[in-house]
Structure 1
């Protein structure tokens, strides 16, 4: 029987040498979905099983004939529901929204199809993607495969659950403040929020990125090789950059590594989270890296301003709904957006200017740190919280206080990934964030790969 926990790299090698068949792999992954989906609740739309098996059979024939569409031909993949697929409803995770049915694929969906990947379906998200959990008014609660009482994180909640739950090796999420990386740390995954514009979007937005969620940095790199590159649909997409995504092996010698463990705003990280960041930095130092430390550079008023602008943006969406539809929106979100109901235009613009100030201060802090090759930090201040809870700190106005380590890199557009490093005494995963220089996505993946090879065995 085919092992559904195999990495994409292992599957690709098996397809290439004939020891594995896409048909067998997709069949076994579908069995895992059958067994686990009722509990995990990862799919917004699960594609017909027969259609996925037909796609797998077509891939198997291409491999037999020596004409695969690419090295990932026949490997299962899922896409977050806000990544458009022609004919597939997009609900934005919200019961108050009338689903949009796209007429064309997004660049991500099109490139997956053209590379021969077998799309299993569209994964869930919470209302408008504005929660760091798997709580949705439309889909219900998405739960961690590691323990159903734990959150998946969000807003790429379904993608994270699918990745950790054995629904194949490759999954696509999106991220405007941590929505790829937060599930990464709370589910024990390897993830990458790429450089802004590296993976083209059908709906570009300030800070937004699509990126891979997997179990290894190498699998993330394999998916980047399929998805990276300019596209006319996305006017923010980067020019072509020749990148050897498969070239991940580095020894750490000479790397310049900055370490950031005191945020200075939001919620400060737990001691066990800080210890994992320090441990990862220590392992890089043992490998020959030069390690330095950086202090806080951002302040609470800036995070509050970012939060306020997002409230105003979502209030605009909410206010356009009729009263009956508004009643179907998750109460937590309805209360959150109401905080922007009486804002003046001046207040909205003042909040918007906080994005640029975060960017300016973060770029200056990076330069003051000596332009390091990478920066290590916590992903989030704490570990996975209860699955039913919409946010890690939902009260006292602290709803966004946990994105203090992730949000700045959405504003600068720098690549940032997560690497699984440890388990707490309760068995909860703890990850480390690896941030790279502008446009150096490969450098981030290389350091993630190095830390994976050198990490203590979770337990």
Structure 2
């Protein structure tokens, strides 16, 4: 396997890698070396990875190479590098959940997404970093080093799938797994210029399951996400909300631009709560809407349907949940939690039972309101975030623990309604930061959302080259 690939191996998509292995143009060992070398050049700047163990990566790659030489690959992604978010358990490894306050006992088994990766022969490159307990839209953590955005090191990659978003944009191989309870896949995807799908609840089993919680692929292209969904979307009884087995033709993700013809598209430009949408973001979304119209879709404006009461209710419940969790910690352990998270959680100390009940009710209210608002449309497009990526050191765009969720008004409703929602890049700010377009579909229409995203991928404005490590950008070293 010695033929030279015209493109750097770490830049190839998952399907291209599998095809190359099958044709013996290059091997999983060569790809692993390329990705490891590329990540090494980036990591001092991005700090996206946790548990990077090159010797284990090469061991997996050699085993995959042997299988390919024997003509017996394990599955759809045999030999393809994959990263897995910190909070998705991998057998034998600690799961710190982004915080220095966590017990570092090794996990007894792989969580469902990690198990599917191994069953299909994926080469686990590393785990990716996240903020404390996944409760921030940034890479700020009391355990991990501060993750940064490869488009601008002074900016956050977003969160809580911070390292995954950064790694995908930087080219640490083609496949990355993140999680999302209010925007934690889509926010880093939008701020890092990559693609993701927060699937319908239960489409990708996860353990532990939780209201609104989803795992999903984070990739540079819709094609790679579609292939990865074929791997990850297998039922698992450990997830009480896992959907029944269903044949979905993920390979049919590319229905062409004709997919858009005649579709009823809702255009949501204001969330109804939280931060106002910045002009550069609104302009990019409106340009995207014009492209949908030009392709034959019928685009109609939507009225905001979220309210500040809905957003505050979810925020207050999550505060109380974290407050209760942290009250169970010894004082010296709690003191290791990020101060921002401590202050946020402790603010729930005086909440009454009635206040907690009213907060919980907002989850259901958000669900019903979102489904009703989307009913007239086949798909809904909107900003992912009202603002571009904020400073890396900020815990959230406001950097205020009393106003922590003011940026998730577009993303969180689709967690509660269980609807699939993607993020795809639709433009850049004047300073060169990516701007994410959210595409949401009806519950269970995950393939349809992929097809609409792929159609937009075909018609969108030209994309800028992916960022390169500073030494490569300056010296053009391959």
Q: TM-score, normalised by structure 1?
A: 0.97
8 Å CA contact 1:423, 1:458 repeated in 2: no
Match of 1:317 in 2: 325
Which of residues 293, 298, 314 is equivalent to 2:301?
293
Q: Which residue of 1 aligns with 2:92?
A: 87
SS in 2 for 1:402: coil
User: SS of the counterpart of 2:424?
Assistant: strand
Among candidates 333, 341, 359, match of residue 367 of structure 2: 359
Tell me the CA shift for residue 58 of structure 1.
1.6
Q: Are 2:427 and 1:445 equivalent residues in the alignment?
A: no
Using the TM superposition, give the Cα deviation of residue 456 of structure 1 relative to its aligned residue in structure 2, in angstroms.
1.1
Is the 1:107–1:200 contact (alpha carbons within 8 Å) kept by the matching residues of 2?
Answer: yes
Pick aligned residue for 1:341 from 344, 349, 353: 349
The equivalent position to 1:136 in structure 2, one of 119, 137, 141, is 141
Distance 1:396 1:63 in 2: 51
Tell me the alpha carbon deviations over residues 248-284 of structure 1, each in whole angstroms, 9 at most, x when there is no partner.
2232212221111111111121122112222222111
User: How many Å apart are 1:18 and its aligned residue?
Assistant: 1.9
* Alpha-carbon distance in structure 1 between the residues aligned to 2:427 and 2:105: 40
Of the structure 1 ranges 434-443 and 267-276, higher mean CA displacement relative to structure 2 is found in 267-276
Size of the alignment, in residue pairs?
A: 455
2:315 aligned to 288, 307, 314, which one?
A: 307
Which residue does 2:469 correspond to in 1?
A: none
Instruction: Give the aligned partner of residue 337 of structure 2.
Output: 329
| Residue in 1 that maps onto 2:21 | 15
After superposition, give the CA deviation of every residue in 1:390-442 in whole Å (9 maximum; x if it has no partner): 10012383210100000000001100011111111100000100101110111
CA distance in 1, matches of 2:262, 2:113: 36
CA distance in 1, matches of 2:208, 2:75: 26
Matched, 1:4 2:13: no
Structure 1 residue 26 and structure 2 residue 32: aligned?
yes
Report the Cα distance in structure 1 between the residues aligned to 2:105 and 2:434, rounded to whole angstroms. Answer: 36
- Partner of 1:105, secondary structure, is coil
After TM superposition, give the deviation of residue 9 of structure 1 in Å: 2.2
Q: Which runs of 5+ in 2 are unaligned?
A: 465-478
Question: What is the aligned partner in structure 2 of residue 151 from structure 1?
Answer: 156
Q: Identify the residue that residue 67 of structure 2 maps to in structure 1.
A: 62
For the residue of structure 1 that corresponds to 2:11, the secondary structure is coil
Q: Distance in 2 between matches of 1:280 and 1:225?
A: 28
Instruction: Name 1:193's counterpart in structure 2.
Output: 198
- Which residue of structure 2 aligns with residue 399 of structure 1? 404
Q: Which residue of 2 aligns with 1:40?
A: 46
8 Å Cα contact 2:95/2:104 also seen in 1: yes
The 5-angstrom pairing of residues 52-451 of structure 1 reads: 52-250=57-255, 251=258, 252-367=260-375, 370=376, 372-395=377-400, 397-451=402-456
Deviations 1:70-93 (A, max 9, x none): 231100001101111111101111
**Residue 55 (structure 2) pairs with residue 50 (structure 1):** yes
Stretch deviating more after TM superposition (289-298 or 125-134): 289-298
Question: Which secondary structure state, in structure 2, belongs to the residue aligned with residue 310 of structure 1?
Answer: helix
Report Cα offsets for 1:358-394 as digits up to 9, x if no partner. Answer: 0111111122xx1x22110000001011101110012
Query: 1:276 and 1:242 mapped to 2: Cα distance?
Result: 36
Contact 2:85 2:177 in 1 (8 A): yes
Provide runs of 4+ in structure 1 moved above 4 Å.
none
How far 1:60 moved relative to its partner? 1.6
1:278-309 alpha-carbon deviations (Å, 9 max, x no partner): 22221111111111111011211110010000
Structure 1: distance between partners of 2:395 and 2:15: 35
Residues in 2 aligned to 1:323 and 1:239: alpha-carbon distance in whole angstroms: 43
Distance 1:140 1:66 in 2: 41
User: Aligned-pair distance for 1:100?
Assistant: 4.0
Contact 2:344-2:401 at 8 Å conserved across structures: no
Q: CA deviation at 1:27?
A: 0.6
TM-score (norm 2): 0.93
For the residue of structure 1 that corresponds to 2:439, the secondary structure is: strand
Correspondence for 2:475: none
Say which is worse superposed, 94-103 or 211-220, in terms of deviation: 94-103
CA 1:151–1:396 in structure 2 vs 1: closer, same or farther (change >3 Å)?
closer
